[in-house]
Amino acid sequence: MTHAALAGAVTRAERWSADEALEELYAAHWRQLVRLAVLLVRDVGTAEEVVQDAFVAMHGRWGRLRDNDKALAYLRQAVVNRSRSVLRHQVVVDRHLRAESARPSETAPDADTGALAAARRIAVLNALGQLPDRQREVLVLRHYLDLSEAEIADALGIARGSVKSHASRGSAALRELLGDLWRDES
């Protein structure tokens, strides 16, 4: 699109900046957001769909976001919300399908990745899957994305005090589920 074509056309200019923002945010965050979604829904294919949907929705709302930081916050929120919806939808629609898709990352372990490391990855994803939604979301936003309590409260639409309690209950539950794996970091 040429600059001449943009001149004077506000909606087209907005359109262009939405496309540009999409490209920039995709380049910078696609992989991390998919990984975030894998921590939430386990299945890589589902995670990619969730994040694709989030990008499409973000593009649609660009006229009101108009800012890469806000757009990134929106993307994270959309990924968390859609992941939760997907999990529930799967529960509702087809439990067999869910069992199928609930398998952890389909990527085969690298040849030089120890069996213990692979087992640990699976165990961590399985353990996350057993946590209540909120605890899983808070843990992942806090410790995977390094968001502050205030940012998490905004993203999930809950009070900061709830973030704290979900985080502490979630990590306690995860510790119990993981047992020795929690500390065996070698």
Contact set for another protein, span 28-87 (CB under 8 A): 30-31, 34-35, 38-39, 44, 47-48, 51-52, 55-56, 59-64, 81, 84-85
Task: Match 């975030």 to its residue by tokens.
Answer: 36
- Give, as one character, the DSSP assignment of residue 110: P
Residues contacting another protein: total by CB under 8 A: 71
Task: Match 């699109």 to its residue by tokens.
Answer: 1
Burial 28-62 (b: 16+ CB within 10 A, else e): ebeeebbbbbbbbbbbbebbebbbbebbeebbeeb
Longest CA pairwise span in the chain (Å)? 64
Instruction: Please report how close the Cβ of residue 2 comes to another protein at its closest, in angstroms.
Output: 18
Backbone angle region of 101, left / alpha / beta, with phi > 0 → left and psi within -120 to 50 → alpha: alpha
Choose between 140 and 163: whose C-beta lies nearer to another protein: 140
Choose between 2 and 186: whose C-beta lies nearer to another protein: 186
Tell me if residue 147 falls in helix, strand or coil: coil
Residues in the chain: 186
Tell me if residue 185 falls in helix, strand or coil: coil
Instruction: Please report how close the Cβ of residue 171 comes to another protein at its closest, in angstroms.
Output: 6
Choose between 67 and 94: whose C-beta lies nearer to another protein: 94
Subset of 101-140 contacting another protein (CB under 8 A) = 105, 107, 109-110, 113, 117, 120-121, 124-125, 128-130, 132-133, 139-140
Binder among 13, 15, 16, 72 for another protein (CB under 8 A): 15
- Contact flag: residue 88 with another protein (CB under 8 A): yes
Subset of 147-186 contacting another protein (CB under 8 A) = 157, 168, 171, 174-175, 178, 181-183, 185
Choose between 2 and 88: whose C-beta lies nearer to another protein: 88
Whether the Cβ atoms of residue 101 and residue 90 lie closer than 8 Å to each other: yes
Choose between 4 and 123: whose C-beta lies nearer to another protein: 123
